[in-house]
Amino acid sequence: MKVQTTLKESVAFITFYNPPVNALPTEVLRDLAVHIESAGAEKGVRSIVLQSEGRVFCAGASFDELIKLQETDEAKEFFMGFAHVILAMRSAPKPVIVRVQGKTVGGGNGLVAAADFGVAVESAAFKLSELSIGIGPYVIGPAIIRKTGIAFFQQMSFSPWRWFSAFEVKRAGLLTHVTENMKRVDEIIEEITSAYEKYDEEAVAMLKAEIWKDTAGWEKVLEEQAEKSASLLLRKETKAILEKLKGK
């Protein structure tokens, strides 16, 4: 299983799993976007829970795939995978809740930022590591900045060595809930999804569209950001860093 959707009453649970650390290659990114779009269009679904299996929530971009990319178009298409997932989360006419059980790196933070609710265990940790490999968190940047503002995004992106605690990212606005254990995480998610069983679907959809109306131009913005990432990735300097890290 890479990505699957399980319907439980009015909730669509979308689960991704790519061991050992849930890195995101093109295939998983593409499937995530499709599953989110399908759940958003599914009659009877009132909320969407995005989650992963294993101890790590998401390690971001697939390192193996980054090393292999050699052409501008394919590199851009890879980074557009993150854009498509973010746009699918934004456009789903129902709330998207992200369940975070562990470490979240790079592009995984974009999934958290694009959610309407982010529920994490207090032991979870967050890092934007892109600068350390010669690129930057360009595609996910707009989603993070929208939630936290530029100051916190600067702290995270300019500190690629540093793990930020769940409490730090909640104070910045990236998460909505931080709690002591996964049992409580699931209880909070159940409280949220149970509430949305009672709310009028059209009213929820209209309110979500209103909340996200400032992102109307994101299709173009995120494409431009993907081009930036692709251009940096294909430089000889970045490839040298990746090859060096590959050898460790």
Give the model's pLDDT for residue 96: 98
The CATH superfamily of 3-182 is: 2-enoyl-CoA Hydratase; Chain A, domain 1 (3.90.226.10)
Report the alpha-carbon distance of residue 149 to residue 143 in Å, rounded.
10
Report the alpha-carbon distance of residue 131 to residue 159 in Å, rounded.
8
pLDDT (tens digit, 0 to 9) for every residue of the chain, 248 residues total?
699 999 999 999 999 999 999 999 999 999 999 999 999 999 999 999 999 999 999 999 998 899 999 999 999 999 999 999 999 999 999 999 999 999 999 999 999 999 999 999 999 999 999 999 999 999 999 999 999 999 999 999 999 999 999 999 999 999 999 999 999 999 999 999 999 999 999 999 999 999 999 999 999 999 999 999 999 999 999 988 988 887 65
Residue with tokens 């930057």: 136
Report the alpha-carbon distance of residue 187 to residue 183 in Å, rounded.
6
Contact 100, 120 (CB under 8 A): yes
Residue 164 β-bridge partners: 126
Nearest to 131 by CA among 10, 247, 237: 237
Global confidence as pTM: 0.96
